[in-house]
Structure 1
């Protein structure tokens, strides 16, 4: 499902009589991590078990994240983003749903992660790039 551009939504929000009407019209609700993960699996035709394996997560822990029974650290969310082959925009939305900071290009480690996401690197290659630059790896 194609989401409207942020700029378009901003203009509509500023023209709205009140924020409640705008929020109802666009069904703006806080998206949970598990809801967004399930949505991404469906959109991308991925299987949960394979995604958890590719993310290098323990099966039980991964299942609990997908079911909303456990939260995930920023790095665990990034592991899932790489395992799912997410774009930068999708990865930032996933981080946001998890209550974590989005990737920030002025942060050296985040800049390397952004570069790797943009190039479609697998998680292992992203970790190799982080290691090569002396940054903490994701896993």
Structure 2
């Protein structure tokens, strides 16, 4: 499903007479983490146990994240994003759905993570880059 550009939505919102109707028309609501993770699995043809394993998560904890029984930390969500080879946009959506801040390029650690995601690096490679720059690793 192709989403409209943010700029286009903003223009429409600013010219709308009623924000409630705008929100209803575009079905704007908070993204549910378990639903979004399942959507990504389906779109990418991945299976949950393999993603959890590649993310380096305990299988029980990983299952609980996917069904919404546990609220994962930002790092755990990043681990899942790397395991699913997510784009930067997908990663930020995962973080927002999980109640965490998006990656921010003015933060040194986040900038390294953004670079690794955008270059298709693995979780291990991202951790190595972070370690080389004396930043907290994702799997720490």
Q: TM-score normalized by structure 2?
A: 0.97
Per-residue deviation at 1:111? 0.3
> What's 2:122 paired with?
122
Gaps of 5+ in 2: none
> Are 2:76 and 1:84 aligned?
no
* C-alpha deviation, 1:17, in angstroms: 1.5
Distance 1:133 1:126 in 2: 11
**Structure 2 CA distance for aligned equivalents of residues 70 and 77 of structure 1:** 12
Count of residues in Structure 1 that have an aligned counterpart in Structure 2: 139
Aligned to 1:32: 32
Q: Which residue of 1 aligns with 2:98?
A: 98
CA shift for structure 1 position 106: 0.6
Per the alignment, residue 68 of structure 1 pairs with 68
**Runs of 4+ deviating beyond 6 Å:** none
Distance (Å, rounded) in 1 between the aligned partners of 2:46 and 2:2: 19
- Determine the C-alpha separation between the residues in 2 that align with 1:49 and 1:4: 32
Residue 14 of structure 1, CA deviation: 1.0
TM-score (norm 1): 0.98
Structure 1 gaps of 5+ residues are: none
1:51-62 matches, cutoff 5 A? 51-62=51-62
Aligned-residue CA RMSD in angstroms? 0.6
Aligned partners of 1:96, 1:56: CA distance in 2, in Å? Answer: 21
